[in-house]
């Protein structure tokens, strides 16, 4: 197993490029199953989850070709198997996203219950209820979700009891080929949902209202091939901005967008950072200052993203004062605070709230990652700590960050990946 070894205390600075968004790329790859013609997808990040989705599509009989520009050409029309097996699905929750497209296009799908990060209950019952509303017959047995429809799916009015990104995406994809109009109320508003809607429309779908809490999808007979570029990763963007802010540094991030990250940028300014941005770049300058404490309450987009909570908790550990971090989206998401306390942080947790009393500096220590974003926060803690920090279980970070140690080295970090003895 691999570890990251970080010698902290260096001020970071420089320029790096932001990768494509994993949480946009995965549903877009699933959506290629809706179309018989080739689809070319650009700006896919080189991540384990993307590799797993490639393997899943190949397992379904889909042909994938990586072209000379490192774009992926997907031939969804070659599908000949309609079972997404446990072996592939168990490592990645996004595998559930093939359910809606397979059902809508082929009238049947059998998908194992998903895996992914262990951060609380993420029930798939909302996905199932949504597809049943469109006329699907769904049976759950032996750890598999089996969905069938004897005729074409039919448009329906669906209200989600709670906001669900995956549920919104699954239903939106299924509804593109349904007969008639589907209205989704209390839909997820995340930029990645909008990116998926833009991709579906590029294939000839009629999706309206993406980015609002009410979406309307007018079903069409068939979709056609297209070329599409995946949006930049807003969480990777935010993570590198926080990492540099935590060390008092200055950075310019290219191939990213400020409009998808407003809540995070406002909190960074509150912490004392100077932020500038253009069409495809964001810069941050901390001017060597210690961060001010910032209170965080996570909520669905456009609120503060749960996927940035752990990184800001790390930043708050060395802030000049006390802050409160409230996690409202996932339980177990404050689990990384125990590891930060091993590095000298002063964090007390009660239920879904962490009280963070800022100290001058952290001390390097051996720590263990528990999920994707928690591992990113431990990297940030290691970068600003004195001495050496060794982070175990870094396979979590590889699921969401492309070449994390190489990008940090470009910014001046002393970080290396080593094999565990």
pLDDT in tens, 192-232: 999 999 999 999 999 999 999 999 999 999 999 999 999 99
Q: With 60 as the cut, is the pLDDT of residue 92 above it?
A: yes
pLDDT at position 117 is 47
Average of per-residue pLDDT across 115-132: 72
Average of per-residue pLDDT across 133-148: 94
**What is the rounded CA–CA span in Å between residue 75 and residue 62?**
6
pLDDT at position 333 is 85
Q: Kindly indicate the confidence band of residue 371, based on its pLDDT and cuts at 50, 70 and 90.
A: confident
Contact at 8 Å (CB) between 325 and 316? yes
**What is the rounded CA–CA span in Å between residue 70 and residue 56?**
19
pLDDT at position 1 is 86
* E-assigned strand segments in 90-187: 108-112, 137-141, 144-148, 157-159, 181-185
Helix (H, G, I), strand (E, B) or coil at 396: helix
Q: Quick one: tokens of 84? A: 């997404």
Q: What is the mean pLDDT of the chain?
A: 94
Q: With 80 as the cut, is the pLDDT of residue 116 above it?
A: no
**What is the rounded CA–CA span in Å between residue 152 and residue 134?**
9
Q: Quick one: tokens of 210? A: 């993406």
Q: Kindly indicate the confidence band of residue 34, based on its pLDDT and cuts at 50, 70 and 90.
A: very high
**What is the rounded CA–CA span in Å between residue 385 and residue 361?**
6
Q: Kindly indicate the confidence band of residue 122, based on its pLDDT and cuts at 50, 70 and 90.
A: low
117 is catalytic: yes
pLDDT at position 119 is 40
**Which one is catalytic: 35, 59, 117, 226?**
117
Burial bucket for residue 388 (CB in 10 Å: 0-12, 13-18, 19+): middle
Q: With 80 as the cut, is the pLDDT of residue 414 above it?
A: yes
Spatial neighbors of 401 by CB under 8 A, at least 6 apart, are: 47, 236, 239, 376
pLDDT-wise least confident of 118-122, 136-140, 166-170: 118-122
Single pTM value for the model:
0.94
pLDDT-wise least confident of 121-135, 169-183, 236-250, 363-377: 121-135
Average of per-residue pLDDT across 85-105: 91
Average of per-residue pLDDT across 121-145: 89
Spatial neighbors of 278 by CB under 8 A, at least 6 apart, are: none
Look up residue 112 and give its DSSP letter. E
Percent of the chain with pLDDT over 90: 86
Helix (H, G, I), strand (E, B) or coil at 228: strand
pLDDT at position 118 is 45
| Alpha helices per DSSP H over 223-261 | 234-246
Question: Strands 353-357, 137-141: parallel, antiparallel or unpaired by DSSP?
Answer: unpaired
pLDDT at position 296 is 98
């Amino acid at each position: 197993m691999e570890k990251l070894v970080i010698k902290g205390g260096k001020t970071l600075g420089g320029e790096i490029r932001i990768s494509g968004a994993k949480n946009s790329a995965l549903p877009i790859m699933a959506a290629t199953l809706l179309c018989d013609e080739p689809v070319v997808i650009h700006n896919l990040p080189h991540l384990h989850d993307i590799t797993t989705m490639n393997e899943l599509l190949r397992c379904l009989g889909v042909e994938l070709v990586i072209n000379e520009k490192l774009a992926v050409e997907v031939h969804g029309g070659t599908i000949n198997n309609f079972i997404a097996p446990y072996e592939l699905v168990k490592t990645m929750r996004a595998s559930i996203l093939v359910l809606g497209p397979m059902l809508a296009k082929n009238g049947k799908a059998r998908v194992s219950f998903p895996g992914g990060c262990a951060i609380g209950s993420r029930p798939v019952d909302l996905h199932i209820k949504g597809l049943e509303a469109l006329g699907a017959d769904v049976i759950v047995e032996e750890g598999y979700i089996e969905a069938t429809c004897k005729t074409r799916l039919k448009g329906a009015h669906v209200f989600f009891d709670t906001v669900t990104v995956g549920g919104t995406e699954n239903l939106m994809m299924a509804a593109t080929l349904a007969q008639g109009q589907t209205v989704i109320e209390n839909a997820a508003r995340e930029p990645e949902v909008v990116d998926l809607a833009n991709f579906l429309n590029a294939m000839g779908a009629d999706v309206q209202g993406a980015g609002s809490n009410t979406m309307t999808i007018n079903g069409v007979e068939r979709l056609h091939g297209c070329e599409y570029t995946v949006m930049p990763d807003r969480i990777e963007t935010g993570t590198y901005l926080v990492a540099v802010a935590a060390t008092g540094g200055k950075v310019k991030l290219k191939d990213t967008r400020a409009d998808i990250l407003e809540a995070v940028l406002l909190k960074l300014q509150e912490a004392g950072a100077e932020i500038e941005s253009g069409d495809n770049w964001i810069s941050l300058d901390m001017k060597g200052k210690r961060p001010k404490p910032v209170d965080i309450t996570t909520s669905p987009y456009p609120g503060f993203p749960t996927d940035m909570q752990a990184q800001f908790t790390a930043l708050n550990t060395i802030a000049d004062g006390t802050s409160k971090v409230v996690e409202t989206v996932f339980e177990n998401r404050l689990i990384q605070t125990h590891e930060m306390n091993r590095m000298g942080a002063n964090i007390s947790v009660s239920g879904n709230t962490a009280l963070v009393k800022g100290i001058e500096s952290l001390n390097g220590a051996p720590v263990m990652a528990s999920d994707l974003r928690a591992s990113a926060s431990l990297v940030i803690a290691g970068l600003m700590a004195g001495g050496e920090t060794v982070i175990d279980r870094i396979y979590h970070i590889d699921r969401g960050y492309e070449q994390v140690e190489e990008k940090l080295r470009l910014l001046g970090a002393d970080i290396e990946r080593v094999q565990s003895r």
